[in-house]
Chains A and B, each alone.
Chain A
């Protein structure tokens, strides 16, 4: 039992008893013991955060007595990446998730209190989630002792060096992406609890909770969307550099997995903002609110259960099963309960307005919700059906990027046209808006046929492809222009009008935010197809790189305007000159560990205090201790002198000779001074090999730097890419090189519109920040005057 496990155990006790007390209070409608809940909630949060900090501390100090620390870090890593190790695998990331959910539960409880029976149920559910996560951590602990990894090791055994961090995570983006993502997921816990509690309450005949918690749900969802958008963007930018994908999106299963809750959350936000207690989205909004979290759990199961093979499958194991169970539980509460309720309801009371007119803003919002629902389905289905099919038929089918691209493309264009129309409808009125929609739809269809060159085609298609792939794939990327223009024009026009008539500064800022989000989305859609359609790439091989006999003049890259000059070759091994204590045992440590080291290969360091030459071997005493280095030979080849600090590697024999405790049987190549240790003694963690090159476009220098790869020999030889990127306003020049056996294979890519995409992401984030802060009704800064008005009663005033 160690400090970490005690913290987790106490947190589990606190969260479970708080959830239990709230559950009892809800069922019995009795306030006894509820007064203890805030204290227990705060305790759970403090304990879990302490556990997280404790684990982080263990990572920073590379405390290898903890198996999880030993598995996920190494002392050669800089501080930032030692911290990254905390959430490199399941145990740490679940701890992070649990800690954030517990803080969310604490804040939610503190802000609103537990005023009524509904609040008890909501907080009970949130704390139940905390307890579940903490239970998972007790079953598979991030604080397990190193003896679980080495069951045969004697007490007190601690390895000298760690396994190292997954090389893919050694990147600044990855230091922030997981915390941002888990914050987003954790923020979904409250909406889930509110949505689920709504239906539980309805089933129990207590009336729903959603009407009174609507504002709260909106705030949590917006905050979560903000973090999730940032997480998706950071992940995309990470794959751009680390994986050498030469793009930000490749529909890798895990990328697709995070997109699913993002798309559905976007749909949910639209539904929730149009929610009315007695009319629209009475069932759907709370149902979607609860479902988002279930989807987030599903996607985490995808990443963590090891079901899907992917570059992202960082870890699998027992915790996967716990996730699958959590997925079943959240799906039961978040999806099954609402569907059952909806089916049992004789009339869902959906009120389309008395006249049943089709063209109403409420219906347009509904179309948007459905559109995002379809987009979510495309991703969800693409991820899931190959598994189903493989399980049923044994046939492995390929879900290529074009499945996602080509099914999503028309839906996205449709949504943009809808957005343009929706915005225009308010500003321009029915007739003119319809005319506008007609014109832009025609322009889109015409655009689909305007392909100046074959390059504009969305995908290369073959005659035996499915009809939809041939149809959409052969359309021109020009078709994206009219919908984007329409969406932006409509949005800007409406925002102008709304800002003029807005009653308060906050309302104006909110409108600004809404405008930025929608314009950002349109720009994102504009950048994505062009980024791929117009990306060009060409490759050239450079030989003689290893021995310096390569051609250092400019070589044309066939099939492009580029030329490349290879200037040199570099090969570096890390860590360079590591502190000896990070990879070698001191004599004191050897003596302390005693006979447990017998027969193992060890690296030992110390000061030479005695050298005795025998007929067949030389022995060297370290630090005046009973630890000796044994060297075969009579001393002529032994380069050590008394007083020198040395490091030696070899098989350690305990009680080998009567006069010494331990003898390390080394050879001349495994002994040397600490200041300049022999190569075979110091572990090589990273081998970076690359070529320094300059890339020209025509006569202009475009990019220069070192491109190559980084290999991690002690981690199964995993490789990551060192790419050279010249970030241009219109296009990035992206150079990727594979260097081995004296040959460099250099690929130069031209990737357009990356800057536009970055701008679009900033616009999305900035926009949502404004909305989350300044919504007069549900923002962090609210206008008290607006609260309590009869806005909900009038559907046409909703956003």
Chain B
């Protein structure tokens, strides 16, 4: 076989392999009900989350994010991958709202909590009252202390 033809054939083999492998290596961002951040799983259906929170008496962490937000990636890598954060988050109902989403519930949450840029967290009671707001990126320690404050305020308010 002539060199150039061989190279071109190899090119197509590599191209198809990249296509095939990359497609299967891409992590799931969301399925029908959840979106995934770091090692945490967040509900995407706001209404369902509100119902769960009301039933279980847990506060809700609303995470406003987008795919292009680099600080969201920092959250994934640094904060949500941390086991301490994961266990702290177990006391909350987690909802992720993609700010680029045009859906009704997402837009309602953006308006209701006046959130316009990612990343932002708003911790709310099942009734929608704001307990704590985290604007921008907070490191693991700060993030945990915010969650702690939210829990204290929630138990203080509900007792």
Contact = CB atoms under 8 A, between A and B. Distances in A.
Contact of B18 (A374, A460, A718): A374
A699 interface: no
A784 interface: no
Contacts of A378: 18, 22
A394 B28 CA distance: 11
A227 to B, nearest CB: 25
Contact of B138 (A247, A252, A541): A541
Interface stretch (A31-39, A349-357, A498-506, A628-636): A349-357
A403 B136 contact: no
Contacts of A716: 116
Given A385-B19, A395-B28, A745-B136, A310 B7 contact: no
Interface of B: 2-5, 7-8, 11, 14-15, 18-19, 21-32, 35-36, 66-68, 70, 73-74, 77, 100-101, 114, 116-117, 133-139, 141-142
Of A246, A370, A403, A709, most B-chain CB atoms within 10 Å: A370
Contacts of A245: 70
Interface in A385-412: 385-386, 389, 394-401, 403, 407
B7 A395 contact: no
A215 interface: no
30 contacts: A250-B68, A252-B68, A309-B100, A309-B101, A311-B68, A350-B4, A350-B5, A352-B3, A352-B5, A356-B2, A370-B7, A374-B14, A374-B15, A381-B22, A385-B23, A395-B30, A400-B73, A403-B25, A407-B22, A469-B25, A539-B137, A558-B141, A711-B116, A717-B116, A718-B116, A736-B136, A738-B136, A740-B135, A741-B133, A745-B138
Contact of B135 (A350, A381, A469, A738): A738
Given A350-B5, A745-B136, A400 B27 contact: yes
Of B5, B18, B26, B100, most A-chain CB atoms within 10 Å: B26
A743 B142 CA distance: 13
B141 A398 contact: no
A465 interface: yes
B66 to A, nearest CB: 7
- Chain A interface secondary structure, helix, strand, loop or mixed? mixed
B53 to A, nearest CB: 23
Interface string A515-546: 00000000000000000000001110100000
Contacts of A743: 135
Given A357-B3, A395-B31, 7 more contacts: A250-B70, A363-B7, A370-B7, A378-B18, A396-B35, A466-B24, A539-B138
A741 B115 CA distance: 13
A382 B27 CA distance: 13
Which range holds the interface residue count of chain A? 35 or more
A719 B117 contact: yes
Contacts of A718: 116-117
A468 B26 contact: no
A311 B117 CA distance: 11
A449 B15 CA distance: 26
A543 B2 CA distance: 70
Contacts of A401: 73
A480 B19 CA distance: 25
A745 B137 contact: yes
Nearest to A745: B136
Contact of A398 (B3, B14, B29): B29
B2 A350 contact: yes
Contacts of B7: 363, 366-367, 370
Interface string A738-751: 10110101010000
A314 interface: no
A173 interface: no
A360 B3 CA distance: 10
B25 A366 contact: no
B15 A377 contact: yes
B5 A377 contact: no
A537 B74 CA distance: 10
B138 to A, nearest CB: 7
A396 B29 contact: yes
Contacts of A370: 7-8, 11
A539 B135 CA distance: 12
Nearest to A284: B8
Contacts of B36: 398
Contacts of B29: 396-398
Contact of A386 (B26, B100, B135, B141): B26
A350 B8 CA distance: 12
Nearest to A245: B70
A378 B8 CA distance: 17
Contacts of B141: 558
A463 interface: no
Contacts of A745: 134-138
Nearest to A312: B68
A559 interface: yes
A398 B25 contact: no
Nearest to A373: B11
Nearest to B98: A309
Nearest to A466: B25
Contact of B139 (A310, A400, A558, A741): A558
A377 B18 contact: yes
Nearest to A721: B117
A719 B64 CA distance: 14
Given A558-B141, A717-B114, A374 B21 contact: no
Interface in A402-436: 403, 407
Contact of B142 (A377, A403, A539, A736): A539
A245 B30 CA distance: 24
A370 B3 CA distance: 13
